[in-house]
Each structure stands twice: as C-alpha cells, then as structure tokens.
Amino acid sequence: MSIEVKVPVLGESISEATIGEWLKQPGEAVAADEPIASLETDKVAVEVPAPSAGVMGQHIFSAGDTVQVGSILTTIEESGAAVARDAGEQQPAIAKSEAAPAPSAAKADPAPAASSPAPAPSGEPVSLSPAVRRLVLEHGLDPTGIKGTGKDGRLTKEDVLAAAETAKAAPAPAAAPAPAAKPATSSEAGRETERVRMTRIRQTIARRLKEAQDTAAMLTTFNDVDMTAVIEARAKYKDLFEKKHGIRLGFMGFFAKAACLALKDVPSVNAQIEGDEIVYHNYADISVAVSAPNGLVVPVIRNAETLSFAGIEKTIADFGKRAKDGTLKMDEMMGGTFTISNGGVFGSLMSTPIINPPQSAVLGLHRIDQRPVVMPDGSIAARPMMYLALSYDHRLIDGREAVTFLVRIKEAIEDPTRLLIDL
C-alpha cells in the first residue's frame, strides 16, 4: 500500500514553497516521522517527515522546483508491501546464484558481504539536514567521504566537526593533475566564477527590503549611549543570574526592556500604517534579528513588555539555537510590531538598518568601543560607548518622536534603575 506525501500547510498566507533538498532517495528505507525532504518558504526551511515507515517512492519534483501546498511530493510504500516486493525481486537472483556458484565460493563466504552495504561512491547523493549541510559547506568537506553515525547512517553535526578536525590535522595532499579535457590557461587562472540560484528565503529578503525602500519614507537618526552601568550590572549579577535562571544575562535583555518603556512613551514607533489608517498596539511584539544558514530571520518575542529579563534572554537564546538548526516555525516570525537588530556582534560600528514592513521602525545596536567622553565635571574619561540608530517611517513618525524614543533608550541603559521603576 502506498501513502502519498504532500506539501504540508506552511502557515497563514503561505501557498507555495521551493524544494531545497531531497533527504531520502527512491528505494531507501524510511522510518515514521523521519525527514525525507527540505522545503524552503519565504521565511524558513521546513522538513517534511515521512507519514509512516516504508520505502521511499519516486520524486515527483526535483530540487529547486516550486510546489503548492497540498501537492504530492512522493509516496511511501509501507513496509509489508515493500518486503514482499523486495523478496520477489531477489528470488530469481538467489536461484541463479545457487544453480551456478562462483568458483571462489569455497574460499570465501559471500553472505557477510551481502549483508553489509557498500559505502556510497563519491558523488552519490547524501541525505543532509539543513544544519549539517551548513557545516559541510563552511568547512569545505565532501560529505560522501564522512562516515555517518546517525540513524540509517546519516551524518550528524558531530560527524562533520570531527571530520573537519581530522582534515586540519592531516598533511596537505599532493596536488591532483589538472583535468585533461580543459586545461587551465593563464588568462583563466584566478578568475573562476560560480553561478548559484538564489534560495527562496534570499529572494524574499531582497524583495521585501526593496519594497521597504520604495514604500516607506525612511529616515535614520542616531545617538550614543554609555554602557558603563549595564556592563557593571552584568559583571555583578551574571553568576547569580545564570545560577538561578539557567541562562546568561546578555545586553539584549536590557535593550528589549528599555525599548518596551520607550514604546509606551512614544506609541507611534510601535504603530503601523494600513491604508489611510494608523494602527496602534498596546503590546510590544519585538522582532529580534538573528543569523540563520540561509540568511537573516526575525523571530518575534511576544508580549515582551510582560516578560522578565530571564524570560527575554531565554526566548532569544532559544531563537538563536533553532535558527541555526533550521527549526524555527513560520508563525514565530510573523506579527512583530518593532524590531531590534544587533550588528555589534559582527563588529559593526554604525549602520542604517532597513524597516521590516509593515513595522514603522527598527533599532540598530552596534559594537562597544572605548572612547573619550567629557564628564559632567568637565574631566575627560574613557568610557564604553555604543552608537544607536533608529530607522523609521517618516510618514508616521516625526523627527521629534524619533529623537525622543532614542533618548528614552539612552536614559534607561545609562541608568538601569529606570527599568525597575518604569521611568
């Protein structure tokens, strides 16, 4: 009996996806709920699980094809039918082998060899999860040369990392001779190009960023903030915080709480334009930009204004981990009212972040540098300073409101007591 595998429901308003990779090939055994294909939507990569155990059928679509929700991707032939079919196919070969045994049969027992599958030759498709594929590409490894320790011999992240360490320790192999079919010429040396199709996620990022520039009247205002008080608070309480809550105390918790206070004082920053109306929100669903293998994603911290520091830090840490593993859900990245993007983790000194429509503003954080600052008493001291950038839709937010918002953020970070007494 064959069971159809269809494109699952991918989320509200998502009607199609692109096949990123087939994780199982026709004829391979699959277990129930084992991922057999990876789909790329506008926001995330989604793995399609097998509905039951059995044998993989033919691929109806190829990698890179666009498929609609509900389309049939392949079939799974249930185990009972598969076993009967395999037995029927193997019987003639067995009978022939018994009738005409090989001359070397007396010297070697063929049974053990038949029971152990041969290793996949180089170039044969290997089933890789999105996280494992990212590590393979990062380290420049050939997945067919790595022995998998996962289920059904699949590669795990630990297998790839171990192979990478082995490759680093091994001496460099002798250079292979150039292919005879097309020898390299001096004019071509060092000028190779590679053409790679954009992933669906990258296409969506490009389209939405351009739409934001074309639609919103974007403007960016800047300020700087002295991080001394936050750094001292973290140093003083980080061990107790981690011991009690099981998570590290980071900077994003302070900025998320500061943003919630500032959004209350300047509600237009937390609003959005719909047609000829302005929609104000009495809650703060803060989108936090995190890096994923296929590009930047922005999962949403729901009702951030009601969360504690520990709740915010745990949510952000969970988002970061699952973004790298490619397991974020579609509904976790929809409906934000305001965005915080931390380019400082990559060393950015200053930037003009782009709004994430239909939101009306985005706060950009940057790296912390020791800079000379004139203190209130006139002395000059080296202080850990960070530039803040607020990009906003000038159709909705006036310059006075944008500057006021950044000042509120600055005041809360430079005096974190304000976060406790709601000032």
The secondary structure of 370-396, three-state, reads EEEEECCCCCEEEEEEEEEEEEEECCC
Whole-number percent of the chain with pLDDT over 90: 32
Residue 79, pLDDT above cutoff 70: no
Same domain? For 276 and 325 the reply is yes
Same domain? For 74 and 138 the reply is no
Kindly report, residue by residue over 87-116, the tens digit of the pLDDT.
344 444 444 444 444 444 434 444 444 444
**Is 192 contained in some domain?**
no
Q: Which residue has the higher pLDDT, 175 or 135?
A: 135
Same domain? For 107 and 162 the reply is no
Which amino acid is located at 261 in the chain? L
Same domain? For 100 and 138 the reply is no
Residue 414, pLDDT above cutoff 90: yes
Q: Quick one: average pLDDT of 385-395?
A: 95
Same domain? For 283 and 392 the reply is yes
Q: Which residue has the higher pLDDT, 413 or 328?
A: 413
Q: Could you say which of 65, 86, 152, 398 is catalytic?
A: 398
Same domain? For 362 and 397 the reply is yes
**Is 277 contained in some domain?**
yes
End-to-end CA distance of the chain: 66
Structural domains in the chain (count)? 3
pLDDT confidence of residue 91: 43
Q: Could you say which of 65, 152, 394, 415 is catalytic?
A: 394
pLDDT confidence of residue 144: 76
Same domain? For 71 and 139 the reply is no
Q: Phi and psi (nearest 5°) for 303?
A: 45, 55
Same domain? For 155 and 74 the reply is no
Q: Which residues pair with 123 in a beta bridge?
A: none
Torsion angle of the four alpha carbons 373, 379, 380, 384, in this order, in degrees rounded to the nearest 10: -50
Same domain? For 370 and 396 the reply is yes
pLDDT confidence of residue 396: 93
Asked about 394 being catalytic, the answer comes back as yes
Per-residue pLDDT band for 282 (boundaries 50, 70, 90) equals very high
Q: Quick one: average pLDDT of 397-405?
A: 94
pLDDT confidence of residue 53: 86
* CATH code (residue 143): 4.10.320.10
**Is 290 contained in some domain?**
yes
Q: Phi and psi (nearest 5°) for 158?
A: -65, -35
The candidate with the shortest Cα–Cα distance to 314, out of 370, 263, 365, 248, is 248
pLDDT confidence of residue 116: 40
Same domain? For 83 and 142 the reply is no
> What SS3 class is residue 47?
strand
pLDDT confidence of residue 13: 60
* CATH code (residue 351): 3.30.559.10
Average confidence score pLDDT of the chain: 79
The candidate with the shortest Cα–Cα distance to 362, out of 396, 337, 338, is 338
The rounded distance, in Å, linking the Cα atoms of 82 and 1 is 9
Which amino acid is located at 125 in the chain? P
Per-residue pLDDT band for 81 (boundaries 50, 70, 90) equals very low
**Is 189 contained in some domain?**
no
The rounded distance, in Å, linking the Cα atoms of 129 and 22 is 10
Same domain? For 235 and 377 the reply is yes
Q: Quick one: average pLDDT of 148-169?
A: 77
Q: Quick one: average pLDDT of 361-378?
A: 93
Residue 279, pLDDT above cutoff 90: yes
Asked about 239 being catalytic, the answer comes back as no
Kindly report, residue by residue over 27-72, the tens digit of the pLDDT.
888 888 888 887 877 666 777 888 888 888 888 888 878 888 888 8
**Is 325 contained in some domain?**
yes
Q: Which residue has the higher pLDDT, 190 or 283?
A: 283
Same domain? For 138 and 266 the reply is no
**Is 202 contained in some domain?**
no
Cα-based angle 129, 343, 246 (whole degrees, multiple of 5): 65
**Is 211 contained in some domain?**
no
Which structural domain range is residue 143 located in?
126-168
**Is 387 contained in some domain?**
yes
Region of residue 335 (phi > 0: left; psi between -120 and 50: alpha; otherwise: beta) = left
The rounded distance, in Å, linking the Cα atoms of 284 and 305 is 6
